[in-house]
Structure 1
Amino acid sequence: MTTTIKLRALEKDDLTFLHKLFNNADVMHYWFSESYMSMEKLKESFDKCYDNERNREFILTDGHEPLGYVGLFDIDPRHRHAEFAIIIDPSHQGNGYAGSATKLAMDYAFSVLNLHKLYLLVAKTNEKAGHIYEKLGFRVEGELAQHFFINGAYEDAIMMGIFQRDYWER
């Protein structure tokens, strides 16, 4: 894995890359979402949410090549927490980018935004992702039984979180 990976703000030019990800059923399965997003809807959403202070959306890059998408959602300034989510392009999976991207997002959340806590939901069956999050300091906070309907069946989800103080102790 190269050391030139970074997060940069999502730009309108990235919508073609996002469109590809958001219409990939294998990718969206892990986002508990339907793989159905028109380019027009994506453009409309981008324009509408561009200045939304409650979200930070990033493209993970290696130089100019997009590798994935990272988001901090529902940033709550009073309680100082946000939800973390990530997609690594399937053509770049298995190269350690998810761990590096998560660490970059954690650095941003705790150093720049001064959040108290980051949390996420991960499918219980997505053991690889759960392992990455645990390795980076996220702890299981609970299980949501049959919380998401995916591919014709209900799946359990795991809620995980990490506090700023625990992040700095690592």
Structure 2
Amino acid sequence: MSAVIDTEALRAQPELTGENVVLTQLDETYFEPAWQAVHEPEGTRFTGTHATFTEEQIRTWLSSRPGLDDRADYAILRKDDRVYLGDVVLNDVDADNRSASFRIALTGPDVFGKGYGTEATKLILDFAFDVVGLHRVSLEVFDFNPRAQRVYEKSGFVREGLQRDALWWDGEWHDAISMAILETDPRP
């Protein structure tokens, strides 16, 4: 395979449909649920987010997502009623090395454990490898989030390393686990 990725696929960002979720372009129309999500304590802990955001920062960030050719920011919607469940992102796209970073954030405990994150992860990995042409997708997950680690392993990510004491949270240090999946790895 050539070392060229399809940046037009990133820019156009087609809707991705699964059995229970739909991934669609993240933009300012999702401000209200995204604003609520950045204030959800469990979500901020799982992402290690110390920052406090203003409404204007979130609106500006959301409105800047469409049309980018170096990342893909998707809203995760429940398929049957199109309720916002979170977002999933391919970012830090490195075209020369056909690689990107991955992150996902669900809106909170009311949607955890229902398979939405697993399905969204699989959909975006299929897009990353089969459409965009990436070779490698990597992530970091904190040691206090074993549920996410299981989702990533179930999706084909392989543990590659440990960043010791990478996050200071609530008075203690936590490790970050590095994981990645290659286009040649099995995708369940």
TM-score, shorter chain, exceeding 0.5: yes
Q: Distance in 1 between matches of 2:68 and 2:171?
A: 34
Deviations 1:16-48 (A, max 9, x none): 211111122210111111252211111222344
Aligned counterpart, 2:34: 18
Aligned counterpart, 1:107: 126
Which segment is superposed worse, 13-22 or 156-165? Answer: 13-22
Aligned counterpart, 2:170: 151
Aligned pair partner of 1:69 in 87, 94, 116: 87
Aligned counterpart, 2:144: 125
- After superposition, residues 34-113 of structure 1 pair within 5 angstroms as 34=50, 36-63=52-79, 64-90=82-108, 91-113=110-132
Q: Distance in 2 between matches of 1:66 and 1:35?
A: 22
Q: What TM-score do the two structures reach when normalised by structure 2? A: 0.83
Which segment is superposed worse, 35-44 or 77-86? Answer: 35-44
Q: Distance in 2 between matches of 1:152 and 1:50?
A: 38
Confirm or deny: 8 A CA contact 1:24 1:35 kept in the other structure. Answer: no
Confirm or deny: 8 A CA contact 1:19 1:38 kept in the other structure. Answer: no
SS of equivalent residue, structure 2 residue 62:
helix
Q: Distance in 2 between matches of 1:11 and 1:155?
A: 32
- Following superposition, the deviation at residue 134 of structure 1 comes to 1.0
Q: Distance in 1 between matches of 2:186 and 2:100?
A: 15
Specify which structure has the bigger relative contact order, considering alpha-carbon pairs within 8 angstroms and separated by 6 or more residues: 2
Cα distance 1:49–1:88, how it changes in 2: closer, same or farther (>3 A)? closer
SS of equivalent residue, structure 2 residue 50:
coil
Confirm or deny: 8 A CA contact 2:73 2:87 kept in the other structure. Answer: yes
Aligned counterpart, 1:135: 154
Q: What TM-score do the two structures reach when normalised by structure 1? A: 0.91
Identity between Structure 1 and Structure 2 (%) = 26
Cα distance 1:133–1:112, how it changes in 2: closer, same or farther (>3 A)? same
Cα distance 1:47–1:135, how it changes in 2: closer, same or farther (>3 A)? closer
Confirm or deny: 8 A CA contact 1:25 1:34 kept in the other structure. Answer: no
Amino acid at match of 1:148: L
Kindly indicate whether residue 21 of structure 2 is the aligned counterpart of residue 5 of structure 1. yes
Stretches of structure 1 that go unaligned for 5 or more consecutive residues are: none
- Which structure has greater helix proportion? 1
